[in-house]
Structure 1
Amino acid sequence: MGLASLPQFVVYSELQSHWASWAWTAFCCLVWPHVAYLMARRSKDPLHAELRNFVVDSMMAGSWVPLMHFNLLPSVVLLTVANADKINSGVRGLWLRSLPGMVSALLIVGLATGFAFQPQTSLMVMLACLPILVIHTLAVSLSTYRLVRKLQRQNQRFEELSQRDGLTGLFNRRHWQDRMEQLLLRHQEGGEPATLALLDVDRFKDINDLHGHGAGDDVLRAIAALLAQDSMAQNSPVGRLGGDEFAIALPHSMGQAQAAAERLRAAVEAFEFDNVPGLRCSVSIGLAPPPDDGTLGLREWLEAADRALYRAKHAGRNRVAGQDLEPEADNV
């Protein structure tokens, strides 16, 4: 607000104004901002106090115009800046609520000065208006930029959270399916190799019953971390479809996918949980290649992998099964 005093002081100098005009402007621009800050900080209702201060600011701006004898450029600049501050506050309708006070102050001080009218603006006054024009504009622009960037980060964070499973951090079913639709389209258009792997934790209910749901959550998180690591290495969509079922698209043919799935199965079997001694877990994995028929989609692909998973479960669990593959059991 101190910048607002520059054009006023130059105008007062040209008009040879009374010392009271100088004192009033000095108080408004140099003292009042600190008083307003302390009043708002010490108030029981800081928001209400700050809104009141905004209205007082507008009244002060209105009082300056007749003191400058309605000098055109600084009058327009100061009134515009005062209203812009109300709009930038984000408080709906604040600038409208401030207008009556601004107009009232202008009329009262105008009556006291006899509405002296000298609208001509000298070069010196123009130059004195430049700092508030430039600095205020840049400050508002910077504030708006920071607000937009913060909003963008929050929206990005919200979008990421809406795509993730809360427990494991993997893609949730909806977003995983969206990614898989894109992968299937790339396969059908360009022949990109892919194999869908469905993983299901063996006897997960028994883990919860014997060791508690906290231990069950630990198992799910450990498996998710393993899949996420493998997914990052291969840039593969991986998600939690619900409960104790996971899915990952391996960028391999069926033979290579079987070897990769077997490594995942063995890694899960080797898990140890320090906070739950004696807890062991395993997974059954069903593999399915993408449908070659262009009329078939993700649903049919999931159903094929689900049938393979059922074969692995039916063959004794803790093994990998797939289309045209015999269920491969644990060798231990």
Structure 2
Amino acid sequence: MDNQRGKGLSFARRIYTPRAIGSGFGGLALIPFLYPLDIPIWTWALLLVNAFVWPHLAYQLSTRSAYPYKAERRNILVDSLGGGFWAASIQFNPLLTVIIISMMMMHNVAAGGPKLLLRGALAQVIGALVSCLLFGASFNAHTSNLQVYACLPVLILYPFSVGMVSYGLAIKLAEHKSTLRALSRTDSLTGLLNHGSWKDLLQLKFQKCQQNQSSATLALIDIDHFKHINDTFGHLVGDSVLRQLSTELQQNLRAEDLAGRYGGDEFCVILPNRSLSQAKEIMERVSQVFCDFRHAAEPELRVSLSVGLASYRLEYEDASAWLNEADKALYIAKKTGRNKICTGAADLLFDSAPIDPLST
């Protein structure tokens, strides 16, 4: 309910400015067309209300309604009813009648598409019939210079206002689309790339390494004994550990490095233009600061990382082979005591000295 009302209020705000400009300058344009005609005084009062009071009244009716969207669509039909009434009241002068019909069509299509366009057209016909019943039906094709000049402001300003509203809406839609795209690529807990997005980028980086003969290193990271952490301290503490590792990665990596959550307690990093030794230094730094992590509610909690590294090599047929080599290195690190950094057989095998979290 609140979400629908919010959308309705936004809709009413978008309509307000074009309506105020169209009604105001449209009302001024009507004056030289109505003045030569023998119309009753109440018609001038109605024109004043329609031109300068109705836009603000319509906005209040919409924003104060429990269903602003429906209320605003009713207001749009009132606009169309008035447009038909004034077109007939000026004896269907071709110039201003076409302007009124064009404004109504633009207004209705922008607000509600073909369905509202048809309903608006029906409202215009009803408004024209009411005017014909009151003043009689007639046609006047003559247009003076003054009448032409009176139409110029509305011809310029109304399309401009509709265009600006449409532009603002397009910008918001683009921002929402960008946000949704980012959310679809991001792991909700850690803020890093999710599994699918990271693997897509891995494929792109692999192709770039092939084409440019450039270097890069993969790192697969596993939080040691993470299941035990969850079982012992609870999932909320486990989530805080995952977020902490995400924070350390973001703070210790370059903008061009691509970190993601591979799944569960496993993380993955692509380090473009980094040699194996450089990647090792970076991962050692991340491991060290991560080992220093202490949870305020669980001071006895200790954490550490196992890391598998694999540098890009020409003999890899595809990105999966490269990733598999890093996975093998991670397996070695976990099977040989954890809390260390290892590489696979395709690279020079090395182990880092274990990082003892108890010594920090």
Normalising by the residue count of structure 1, what TM-score does the alignment of the two structures yield?
0.92
**For 1:234-291, what per-residue CA distance to the aligned partner results, in whole angstroms no more than 9, with x for missing partners?**
5111111001101112232222222222222222222222232121100011111223
Aligned mate of 1:310, from 326, 331, 353:
331
Q: Could you tell me how far 1:218 is from its partner in structure 2?
A: 1.0
Matched, 1:22 2:44: yes
Aligned pair 1:95/2:140, yes or no? no
Does the aligned pair in 1 maintain the 2:252–2:282 contact within 8 Å?
Answer: no
> Counterpart in 2 of 1:153?
175
Cα drift, residue 42 of structure 1: 4.6
Pair 130,150 (structure 1): closer, same or farther in 2 beyond 3 Å: same
Match of 2:128 in 1: 106
Provide the C-alpha distance between the structure 1 equivalents of 2:291 and 2:54, rounded to a whole number of angstroms: 71
Q: Is the alpha carbon distance of 1:47 and 1:187 closer, same or farther for their aligned partners in structure 2, counting shifts above 3 Å?
A: closer
CA spacing shift, 1:2–1:165, aligned 2, 3 Å: same
Measure the CA separation in 2 of the matches of 1:48 and 1:158: 28
Q: Which amino acid aligns with 1:102?
A: Q
State whether residues 340 and 355 of structure 2, in contact with CA within 8 Å, keep that contact through their aligned partners in structure 1. no
Q: 1:82 maps to what in 2?
A: 104
Q: Percent identity?
A: 35
Equivalent residues in 2 for 1:78-227, closer than 5 Å: 78-90=100-112, 93-227=115-249
Checking the alignment, whether the CA contact within 8 Å between 1:311 and 1:327 is kept in structure 2 is: no
Deviation per CA, 1:174-227, whole angstroms, max 9, x where unpaired?
111111111111211212111111111111111112211111111111111111
Superposition deviation, residue 43 in structure 1: 4.3
Quick one: distance in 2 between partners of 1:49 and 1:326?
71
DSSP-derived class of the 1:151 partner:
helix
**Using a 3 Å threshold, how does the CA distance of structure 1 residues 317 and 35 change in structure 2: closer, same or farther?**
closer
| Residues 226-305 of structure 1 mapped to structure 2, 5 A cutoff | 226-231=248-253, 233=254, 235-250=256-271, 251-293=273-315, 296-305=317-326
CA shift for structure 1 position 48? 3.3
Equivalent position of 1:328 in the other structure: 352
* C-alpha RMSD of matched pairs (Å): 2.0
Structure 2 unaligned runs (5+)?
1-22
* Contact preservation (8 Å) 2:339, 2:355: no
For the 8 Å contact 2:287–2:355, the answer to whether it is kept is no
C-alpha separation in 1, matches of 2:318 and 2:56 = 67
Unaligned runs of 5+ in 1: none
Aligned partners of 1:262 and 1:101: how far apart in 2? 73
Aligned length: 330
For normalisation by structure 2, the TM-score amounts to 0.85
Alignment partners' CA distance in 1, 2:69 and 2:195: 43
Give SS of 1:328's match.
Answer: coil
**2:221–2:308: 8 Å Cα contact kept in structure 1?**
yes
Three-state SS of the structure 1 residue aligned to 2:351 is: strand
Q: Which moved more, 1:158-167 or 1:44-53?
A: 44-53
- Distance in 2, Cα, partners of 1:72 & 1:331: 86
**2-structure distance, mates of 1:17, 1:331:** 94
Aligned counterparts of 2:56 and 2:352: Cα–Cα separation in 1: 77
- The verdict on how the C-alpha distance between 1:40 and 1:313 changes in structure 2, with shifts beyond 3 A counting, is closer
Could you tell me which residue of structure 2 aligns to residue 33 of structure 1? 55
288 and 124 in structure 1: CA distance in 2 versus 1, 3 angstrom threshold: same
Q: 1:253 to 1:132 in 2, by over 3 A?
A: same
Q: How many angstroms apart in 1 are the aligned matches of 2:80 and 2:276?
A: 74
Deviation at 1:32, TM superposition (A): 3.2
The residue that corresponds to 2:6 in the other structure is none
